Structures are given as C-alpha cells and as structure tokens.
Chains A and B, each alone.
Chain A
Amino acid sequence: MLEIRNLHARAGDKEILKGIDLVVKAGEVHAIMGPNGSGKSTLANVLAGRETVSVTRGEVLYEGKDLVAMAPEDRAREGVFLAFQYPVEIPGVSNLYLLKAGLNAIRKHRGLPEVDAMDFLALVKEKMKLVEIDPSFMNRSVNEGFSGGEKKRNEILQMAVLEPKLALLDETDSGLDIDALRIVARGVNAMRGGSRAIVLITHYQRLLNYIVPDRVHVLSAGRIVRSGGKELALELETRGYSWIEDAGRGAGAAAS
C-alpha cells in the first residue's frame, strides 16, 4: 500500500527527514513513535502533501503511484486521509457542509454519483454515534469553539465518513483525557480491518494500549532507528527514548 524509500525532506531550509524507509501493507496498523522534534509530524505532512515541507530525495509510492507528485486533494481522493494534530477552524462553514463537499469530491473522482442530502445525513448520524458526537455539532462551523477533545473526535468522524484506504493519525491522542482517548480508540478500531492501512503517529505509548499496532517504529533525528512488534512500545515506555536515540546516533555516525 505504502512504500517509503530513502525519504529526505526539509521544512524551510532545515533538513528534518534524513532517509526514511518504511513499508506499510494493506490491512496493517503501524505506530510511529519518537521524541519531540524527531520528524514525526513532518513525515505526516509529507505524506499528506503540505507545501511547507519539500521532498529532497527518495520516493513515496502509494498503491504503486508516485505520491509526492500528486496534489493534496488528489491524494485524498485516492484514499489518503490525515487526521490533523491541530485541526483548523473555518468560521461560517458548517462541519456538515465541509464533510459533504469532501465526500462528494472523493466519490466523483471514483466515478460514483454524489450522495443526496438525506442519505448523507443518515450516514453521518450513524458514524457520529461511534465517536459520541452530538448531532448539533454538525451545523456548527468547522472546529470553531470546539474543545481539544471535540476537534480530535471530529477528525475521527471525518475519517469514518470518508473511509480512506490509508489513514494517518498525527498525534490524535495528544491532549485527550482518558475517556476521550477511549472514544477515539474505539473509532479507530472500528475502522480497522479489511485492506485499510492505519499509521498512528504518537509520542506516548498510552494510545497503543487501546489500538494495538502490528508494527512499531521509532523515529529519531529523521531516521527510523528501530522497528519491532507491539512489545517495542512497552519497552520504550519503561526505558524512555534515550537508549534508542543513542543507538541511532551511533548508527548514523557509522553510516556517514
């Protein structure tokens, strides 16, 4: 599904990603962990196509296609979804309107007819139960006046409605209390399965108690310094990042 080869990327004139290799197969859940500043969010932004980051070397293949060459909206239409770490507010545009416009753009791209208002409403209502969002939310402006937890749940709702093939969750757990975390995790777990691939980007192991990954990767200073099964996350929890970072630095020095 997703194949990242020797990816280098910079934000401004600072090189953040320094050679990432990662393969995510259909149906898998991967967790990318790492300390602050290790490049986690940059990786998410590269995959979603944000213009503030630019790829300098390497390639990203999504379903065999060159992802980097695609416009952000085309990536979304092809099934790449990013749950934002900081969802923006858009005053005057209702959640429902945005979501419907997005869904219809995606459907049109796939040669499907637009959903009519009634069907759409029914679909959203059903998905809203999953993330325990009050229906009145949908008529409010996008993320405007939402609490941190509400914004994150809204991201998961959008994901549930848009049904991506590849979902990237950028620190969706940050700032959530334990109840909200459970709700978000339940939403993500409900999306799991079939051919859908999910990449969780997180600083803390906590989220992985609720969403158990197939693979865990540790990112440090722009490189994946260790990969393993779900037990790697637990090891990080007890030992912190420093032992891996040290190892990574050693490996980096050896490679250069």
Chain B
Amino acid sequence: MSTSTKSIQELTDKEYKYGFVTSIEADTVPRGLNEDTIRLISAKKNEPEFMLAWRLKAYRHWLTMKEPTWANVHYPPIDYQDIIYYSAPRTKSDGPKSLEEVDPELLKTYEKLGIPLSEQKALAGVAVDAVFDSVSVATTFKDKLAELGIIFCAFSEAVQKHPALVEKYLGSVVPYNDNFFATLNSAVFSDGSFAFIPKGVRCPMELSTYFRINAADTGQFERTLIVAEEGASVSYLEGCTAPKRDTNQLHAAVVELVALDDARIKYSTVQNWYPGDKDGKGGIYNFVTKRGKCLGTNSRISWTQVETGSAITWKYPSCILQGDNSIGEFYSVAVVNNHQQADTGTKMIHIGKNTRSTIVSKGISAGRGQNTYRGMVKILKGATGARNYSQCDSLLLGDRCGAHTFPSIEVKNSTARMEHEASTSKIGEDQIFYCRQRGISAEDAVSMIVNGFCKSVFRELPMEFAVEAQKLLGVSLEGSVG
C-alpha cells in the first residue's frame, strides 16, 4: 500500500468528538408504539384535539405501510416496538420560561457542543432553538424577533400559542401519509422548531436549530415547519450531534418549508450525527423527509446540506415549484467514511411557468463508505419555460469505497431546458504528491483537495457555517491520509 493510500485511511480514522452523554433525569415513556403511546405523547404536550386526530390518522395509515427498500442502503430490520418514542429532560414546571430556568447541565451540554445558549455569549446574529432528545429546551432571541412579528419557537409551543398557523400549514408540504418514515414521524413527533416570518419582513438574524440526541434507545422524531409570507425572507441553519453508542438509533425527522409570493427561504444543514465506529458498529439512522413548497410566484427555496455524520443517511430535500417563476436550489456535500452509507439527493418538481432549479451534488467516499446520489427532476405539462441544471460529482478516496448516481429526468413540456453534468474521480496520487512537493503534508493536501472539490457548495453556506463545514470535513476525513 502506498503512503498516500495509507494516509487516506489514517485521515478517516479520527475520533468523533461529540460522543459524550449528558447525565440528566429524563421523563421517558415505555418502549414500543401503539395508540396509547401516541395519546400519551399528545397528552404530555397538552395538545389540542386536531393534533391528536392528525397523529392517530397518521399512525393508522402507517400500520398499512411497508418500510421502503429501494434505497441503496443496507441495515438489519428495525424493531419499531423496541424504540422509546419520547424522552425529555425532567423539569420542575411545564418547561423553562427563560434561559435562567434551563437546567445548567443542559446549558453545559450545549456549551460543550460549541452552541452557547446564553444570549450574551451567543453568536451575534444567530438565534438558536436547542432540541434535546424529544423536546426543545431553549430558544434564544425570541423576544427580539417577536418585535418584528417573527415567531421562532419550539414546535410544541407553537401548537399552544399559534394553533391556527400550525393547523393551516402542518402537513401541507409533507402530508401525513407521504412515506413510511414521514408518516411515523407524523404519528409520534414530539418537538422541533417553528418559524413564521410575516409579510414583508426580512429576518435580521440567522435562525438555527441544534438537535441533540442524548437518551439511549430513543428515536428522535422532530418536525420543523417554516413559513415565509409574501416578500419575507429567512436563512435557517440546522446542526446535529449524538453520543457514541454501540446500538443504532433512529432519527426520522420531517422538515416542511412554505414560501409565498416573493418569499425566500434558505435552509442549511450541517449534519454530524454519530456515524458509528470504525467497524460500522452503532451510529444514527438518519431517515429524513425534507421538502419545500414554492407556493407563491417568484418565491425561492434553497437547500444546502453538508452531511458528514450518521451510519445511514436517507434524505432528499426537495422543492415543489408551484408558483410561476419560482426557484428551487439544492447544494449538497455528502461524506461517507468507514462503513457509512448515504443515499441522498433531491427532487425538483416543476409545476409553474418559468420555474428554475439548480442541483449541485458533491459526494465524497472514503474507507468502505458507500455514497449514492439519487435525484429526480420532473417538468409537468404546465411548466412552460422550465429550466434545470444538475451537476453531480463524486470523489473517491482509496479503493474500497463506492459512489453511485441515479439521476432521473421526466419532462412533459417540450419547452423545458435541462442540463446534466456528472463526474467521478479518484483523489489523485499525483495531486497529493504535487502538494507534498510544495511542502504541504499529505493530510493537509487531502483536506485541501477535498475542500476544493466542495467549494461550489460551501460558497452557498452562511459565513460562519462555511468555516465550520470545512473544519468538519477535515475531521470526518482525518486519518484517511498521513
């Protein structure tokens, strides 16, 4: 084995640094799933009747569904009766009213993760909703945002305080019967974030949710709903981590975005769930449904994701381009290392006239990782003048990993213009050697080359996130060169 292949392996072997467990008393429901579990979750959250009805409708439908097997991922069957569907850190009252009431142990946890929740210490210009296992534990800058009419709070709080909005938009993009995992989520989801940007308001700071799985054997089923009214705009960030455990944990989330006329939503994810150990033991199953609806004319939804964690990733952030002249974008970097598997991509459904979509996907495979891009671009009959540009590039580090691409294009309107570019390359020994000959270590060379490969996606991330993403990429691939 040559030195750089060796080095590629070493770079891939770096320890996951968010693998600690917070010791905290939790309110947990018994293992397993039935209608009682759902009633219990709904009761714990003191939900209005429409929510319970919706959950039960989803649950009953779920019972008729089969787990999908079409994705290019492999895992032993999941025992859905062996999962704990609700776990919340125990609090004195119904929930913390302010940051002072949040358990210091929790604040410490987020501090350790680099997400200070105290507003004095918080990143300027970023409001954070921190979700710990099944519940949101704190949301920063809420009052400041409220002055502008922006609602940014835990989903369960929105259900209490803004039930009409929730009822109007919940399931309007991802219906309760959408797919196996989304339907399961609809039945049991416990919390998540809710953001509402009223007409004409540009959200002055980045909104962000930080998801943390802590409890063992629990599934995390959060749901995020973001609505941008006419002319509103918002940039939303999402980050995730989990402790190291030998067993796999299920994370089945749903994200729904709604953009009305001239609204713009930018949704960025840095997903760093625990990927499992070097031998593929443990890690998160990240089975997520994310979809945005460009409902209004001239609306725009952009997904940017950097996926480095999880044992298995199964997600396709998509856009329904319903409004005329609406724009959908998907920028993705997906990294698999060791035994990680990712099957990810997007769907762009063009319905309105002159709708445009852009897909840029960068897949990086190292170790024994398997990386699949799966994408669909659909131009419906009425989508006169629709345009799509897709670019899918794969980069292989080492010779035991794999990259797969399954693009699908369906055009029902002859005025559509489609472009698709794809490439697969192996990180070149001669590229690494070239850098080393200029004095750069093999490890830095690989990180430089990989970052160069991802540049067109990183450019789309908000500043501080882009820096974070670059670092994360370095960490994920660390040990793969030396």
Contacts and interface: CB of A to CB of B under 8 A. Distances in A.
Contacts of A158: 438
A234 interface: no
Contacts, number: 84
Interface string B429-468: 1110111111111101000110111111000000000000
B434 A90 contact: yes
Nearest to A158: B438
Nearest to A107: B439
A51 B3 CA distance: 8
A113 interface: no
Interface residues of B, number: 26
B428 interface: yes
Interface in A99-122: 99, 101-103, 105-106, 109
A84 B434 contact: yes
Contacts of B98: none
Contacts of B428: 88
Contacts of A76: 436-439
Nearest to A89: B431
Contacts of A101: 435, 438-440, 444, 448
B322 interface: no
Contact of A92 (B3, B4, B436, B454): B454
Contacts of A81: 437
B2 interface: yes
Contact of B433 (A72, A91, A105): A72
A88 B431 contact: yes
A13 B435 CA distance: 26
A244 interface: no
B66 to A, nearest CB: 42
Contacts of B434: 84, 87-88, 90, 142
B439 A92 contact: no
A92 B431 CA distance: 13
A162 B455 contact: no
Interface in A137-183: 141-142, 158, 162
B449 A102 contact: no
A93 B449 contact: yes
B438 A98 contact: yes
A82 interface: yes
A156 to B, nearest CB: 14
Interface in A41-62: 48-52
Contacts of A88: 428, 430-431, 434
Nearest to B435: A98
Nearest to B443: A73
Given A51-B433, A87-B434, A92-B454, A98 B439 contact: no
A218 B382 CA distance: 73
Given A51-B2, A88-B430, A106 B439 contact: yes
B458 to A, nearest CB: 9
A81 B435 CA distance: 11
A102 B435 CA distance: 8
B440 A105 contact: yes
A23 interface: no
B452 A91 contact: yes
B410 to A, nearest CB: 31
Given A88-B430, A92-B455, A92-B456, A73 B448 contact: no
B4 A51 contact: yes
A93 B448 contact: yes
Interface in B83-125: none
A102 B439 contact: yes
Which of A82, A98, A162 gathers the greatest number of chain B CB atoms within 10 Å? A98
A55 B207 CA distance: 58
A222 to B, nearest CB: 22
A81 B439 CA distance: 9
A214 to B, nearest CB: 25
A11 interface: no
Given A51-B4, A51-B429, A101-B444, A72 B451 contact: no
Nearest to A83: B437
Nearest to A50: B433
A71 interface: yes
A101 B440 CA distance: 7
A182 B452 CA distance: 33
A172 to B, nearest CB: 14
Nearest to A99: B438
A93 B427 CA distance: 13
A91 B455 CA distance: 9
A103 B454 CA distance: 24
Given A51-B2, A90-B449, A102 B455 contact: no
Contacts of B440: 73, 98, 101-102, 105
Given A51-B429, A51-B433, A88-B431, A109 B448 contact: no
Contacts of B435: 90, 98, 101-102
Interface string B406-437: 00000000000000000000001111011111
B441 A105 contact: yes
A73 B439 contact: yes
Interface string B138-178: 00000000000000000000000000000000000000000
A14 B27 CA distance: 70
Which of B439, B440, B442, B455 gathers the greatest number of chain A CB atoms within 10 Å? B439
Contacts of B441: 73, 105
Contact of B436 (A73, A97, A142): A73
Contacts of A18: none
Nearest to B428: A88
Which of A52, A87, A142 gathers the greatest number of chain B CB atoms within 10 Å? A142
A98 B438 CA distance: 8
A162 B439 contact: yes
A77 interface: yes
Interface in B1-37: 2-4
Contacts of B451: 92-93
Interchain residue pairs A-B with the least CB separation, the first 3: A92-B452, A102-B438, A93-B452
Interface of B: 2-4, 428-431, 433-442, 444, 448-449, 451-456
26 contacts: A49-B436, A49-B437, A51-B3, A72-B436, A72-B437, A73-B436, A73-B437, A73-B440, A73-B442, A75-B437, A84-B434, A88-B431, A90-B434, A90-B448, A91-B452, A92-B454, A92-B456, A93-B452, A98-B440, A98-B448, A101-B438, A101-B439, A101-B440, A101-B448, A105-B438, A158-B438
Given A84-B434, A98-B448, 8 more contacts: A51-B4, A73-B439, A81-B437, A90-B452, A93-B449, A97-B448, A102-B439, A106-B439
